[in-house]
Amino acid sequence: MNPIKILLLCPVPEDQKPINQYISFNENRIVIWIKKIFFPRKEKYFSFLFAIFVFLSVLFLSLILLPKEILFFFNLLIKNSFFFLNFLFFLFLATFFNWLQLAKRLNSARFFYEEASWYDGQFWEKPFFIIKNDRLLNTQQIQPIQKKLQILLSIFFCLNIGFLSFYQIF
């Protein structure tokens, strides 16, 4: 059967097809912002992470070595940074789980979709050429983003532990 006919006869609604979900998720403003700021070009990525690490290390060391009178003014800055860091952590966590769910839908040979409403669900078997293209998209586009998000989430988690241990010291 012609691949175009198979795509035209596909019973899955357009907004539930994994490729359309990938396109709409890729056009999301939050995802674009995350990619621009936290995922620069490949050659700049590790230098970017190193610069963040050095900046935060210098900040922590300077706050530890400052006198107690000046430390009071920085306490508010530390608390605000901690809350902003937690906000970013949960934002990245939600984004990571969205990418994970999309990768699961792209990798599977059949997936669940809803035709009309929540009680009218069906499974659709993907044709071979769609499976091949979806898996290629997953390995080439989604898995690198997932790996970078895992690294970023682990860094934010370690920074949260650092903030918590900093407050135990003072």
pLDDT, residue 161, reads: 84
Q: How far apart are CA 11 and CA 4, in angstroms?
A: 14
* 63 within 8 A of 78, measured Cβ to Cβ: yes
Which contiguous run of DSSP H or E holds residue 114? strand 110-114
Give the distance from CA 1 to its chain's centroid.
38
Confidence label for 42 from pLDDT (cuts 50, 70 and 90)? low
Q: What is the pLDDT of residues 47-101, one digit of tens each?
A: 777 777 777 777 767 667 766 666 666 666 677 777 888 888 898 899 899 999 9
Tokens encoding 3 = 């691949």
In the chain, where are the structural domains located? Answer: 14-39+77-169
3-state secondary structure of 124: strand
45: its two tokens: 């990525």
